[in-house]
Structure 1
Amino acid sequence: MPEQGSADSASYVGAETKRRKNLPPTVEERQYNQICSRKGVTTSGCFARQLNDNVADVSYSMLGPNDIRCISVALKTNVTIKDLDLTGNDLSGKGALYLAKALEANSTVDDVLNDSIENLVLAGNEIDTFGGSYIGKALCSNVGLRRLDLSWNHIRREAAVAICSALKFNTTLEDLDLSWNGLFVDGCRALGHALPHNHTMQHLSLASSTKLATGRPSEKMRELKLSKVELENNSMWNLKKLVTRNLKKLVTRALNERREQNDLELCRKRQQPQASMYLKGPLKMQSE
């Protein structure tokens, strides 16, 4: 028997969808429909209904490269979508190329094109070496993305090198998931050489990525997933030193915050009027 909460949520989503269908299309929807019409592509109703939302979930929608091409053109002028989930579609190499061009449009802080997307999920999209190489090129100049999920694709060899090397130049990406791509030695070595120059990465997942070459991650790194990863040379020693250094910083910060809190409490007590003196414990009578 379904829970009451899930039933209420489903009914709300159904009512919201029905309400939007009865409303006239927005300017963004009309532009997207025109783009699809020119390209001879069927409009994705799921994407069109979310063009004015901050979060667009188009996962498992059976979208191919041509569908992504129209979506990418629409994203270049969209200023509302911040989180875009394209998990489980079929971008392949061409779809990744179209999406990379949309990301590359946001090359400067003052660029008005596509300056809103911060979270992009492309997991399980059959992205190959061709498409991955263009994504790496786009990451070199993109200044909007904060999180990028590329897990469960076919990013290997040249594509792995391009994406990992881009971290040397990217200044905004904080969370990158490259797990289950098989980066091989070349990709992991490029990552090892790029990490010392990156100062924003905080969460990095490399599950099942063969080898991680010598490299010192950013001191802002908070999470590093290395399941089924073989560490090369003295990488383990470097990672151990990094974790120890970050742990000391966190402990020191916590102690400083606690000390400041104690100082504030002491100041408050001093500002309060002093109570009359009294004796603690039972009063002892002295015999004459």
Structure 2
Amino acid sequence: MDPCEEKQPPDHTVLPTGSPNPVEKPTQGQKVDSGDEWDTDLETDNITYQEQSLSGEDQYLQACQKTGCVPVSFFLCHLGEADLNLNHYGVGPMGAKALAVVLQNNQTITNLELEDNALQAEGTSYLMEMLQTNISIQSLRNYILKELDLSHNKICDRGGQHLGHMLATNIGIEVLNLSWNHLCTGSAVALSAGLKVNSTLKQLQLSRNGFGRIEAESLGQALKQNSTLMLLDLSRNLIDNEAAALLCKGLATNDGLRVLKLSHNPLTNIGALSLLQTVTKNTNSAVEEMDISTVFVGETFVELLENARQRRPVLAVRHNVMRSVTRNISALRVFQKFLKGRNESIVDFFQALDKEGTMKVPTAAFRKAVKEANAPLDQRQLEWLIKKFDENCKFTIIYSQLAELS
């Protein structure tokens, strides 16, 4: 039977009669000893003029010989068609490379299906590299792929847009690493659009891509609808306070994300506080880990985090804090411990100063009493404590409101 008349199963894939350099038939995609070395990229810079003039069929056969894989006869017979279904052919990583070499400049195929082909991350990376130059393929499906690492591949917006489409149509991928590429606005919009409808992706790594406010806004919109993504890595980008606020619009309602990485971004305490407030206000938030370890946070952040941990003990936030902030925040605990040693509460201390029973004590009187009692507080700690007790800066402490601190 002519192999071009009917689709052959993988174990019956054969070369057309008269094909040059026939090879023995190992498992599809399996390497054989061809005697040639094959670099890890598609060698687009090294294709000779003679190779460029070869037909698509001959280019494919030559690529198969160089990679040491068995040609898929069905591909040879249907190379000129718009829809190409190579599902279940056991193409493998090297077979994918051979396909990618031919498809770089192919202008006919618009839909390519590669389900159940054991492409692995290596084979898929060749296809993604091919998509950066191919201008005809609109749909690429591989339902079996679970994890794809395309970091350090110089993927630009065009490749990112293809990946976004892949996210929208792929029903199996769980881990996607796109760190250290050149993805920008167009890629972010496409990836976010794919993320909105994708229901399997669990980890998305986007560090070192120059993402800023526009990209953060797109991802924030995606997080409003996506509930399956568990890890989002945006470290080493250009996420500033405004970008963080845009990302928070998605975090405010998201109930799936558990890990958020934002270290090495131009964030300040303001952005960090916005993120923490959003996560703690969202009662359905699943965030357990947040990495903002390069941000020096303030006292308000540390206090909010301590309160949040009382309600959600699993919440872990990596942050940086200056020693002065830590010392100030410890002032209340130091004062409480000091009073406990005297068998007093905070309210007892104030009542002793409130001779007229007004439930109010001037801040100046409190400052003087603390110093006279030789409480182990330095001047900065004392002023921080006064500010905490007199939040409205009225120079008067209404100590009845402090009963819960006793």
TM-score by length of 2: 0.42
Q: Which runs of 5+ in 1 are unaligned?
A: 1-21, 107-113, 252-288
User: What is the deviation of 1:192?
Assistant: 1.1
Match of 2:263 in 1: 227
Give the distance between the partners of 2:133 and 2:172, measured in 1 at CA.
18
User: What is the deviation of 1:227?
Assistant: 1.0
Selected match of 1:66 from 101, 114, 127: 101
Give the distance between the partners of 1:45 and 1:176, measured in 2 at CA.
31
- Structure 1 223/100 Cα, relative in aligned 2: closer, same or farther at 3 Å? farther
Task: Answer yes or no: is the 8 Å Cα contact 2:210–2:237 preserved in 1.
Answer: yes
Query: Does 2:228 correspond to 1:200?
Result: yes
Match of 2:250 in 1: 216
Query: Does 2:166 correspond to 1:128?
Result: no
Selected match of 2:184 from 136, 149, 156: 156
Give the distance between the partners of 2:146 and 2:135, measured in 1 at CA.
14
- Structure 1 200/157 Cα, relative in aligned 2: closer, same or farther at 3 Å? same
Q: Deviations over 1:161-213 (max 9, x none)?
A: 22123211212111111110112221111001111210110111111221232
Q: Which runs of 5+ in 2 are unaligned?
A: 1-22, 35-55, 71-88, 289-310, 315-406
Task: Answer yes or no: is the 8 Å Cα contact 1:199–1:220 preserved in 2.
Answer: yes
Query: What amino acid sits opposite 1:45 in the alignment?
Result: T
- Structure 1 29/56 Cα, relative in aligned 2: closer, same or farther at 3 Å? closer
Query: What amino acid sits opposite 1:193 in the alignment?
Result: Q
Q: How does 1:4-83 map to 2 (within 5 A)?
A: 24-27=25-28, 37-39=58-60, 42-43=63-64, 45=67, 66=101, 69=104, 76-81=113-118, 83=120
Match of 2:203 in 1: 175
Pairwise CA RMSD: 4.5
Match of 2:354 in 1: none
User: What is the deviation of 1:65?
Assistant: 6.4
Higher relative contact order (CA 8 A, sep 6+): 1
Aligned length: 211
TM-score by length of 1: 0.56
Task: Answer yes or no: is the 8 Å Cα contact 1:123–1:152 preserved in 2.
Answer: yes
User: What is the deviation of 1:116?
Assistant: 0.9
Task: Answer yes or no: is the 8 Å Cα contact 1:164–1:188 preserved in 2.
Answer: no
Query: What amino acid sits opposite 1:184 in the alignment?
Result: G
Identity fraction in percent: 24
- Structure 1 227/98 Cα, relative in aligned 2: closer, same or farther at 3 Å? farther
Q: Deviations over 1:203-224 (max 9, x none)?
A: 1111122123233343222221
Q: Deviations over 1:46-76 (max 9, x none)?
A: 887xx959x9599xx9x99637759x99x83
Task: Answer yes or no: is the 8 Å Cα contact 2:147–2:176 preserved in 1.
Answer: yes
Greater gyration radius: 2
Instruction: Give SS of 2:255's match.
Output: coil
Q: Deviations over 1:58-114 (max 9, x none)?
A: 9xx9x99637759x99x834514273136997965x534669959x443xxxxxxx3
- Structure 1 122/99 Cα, relative in aligned 2: closer, same or farther at 3 Å? farther
Q: Deviations over 1:217-245 (max 9, x none)?
A: 43222221111234559344213445995
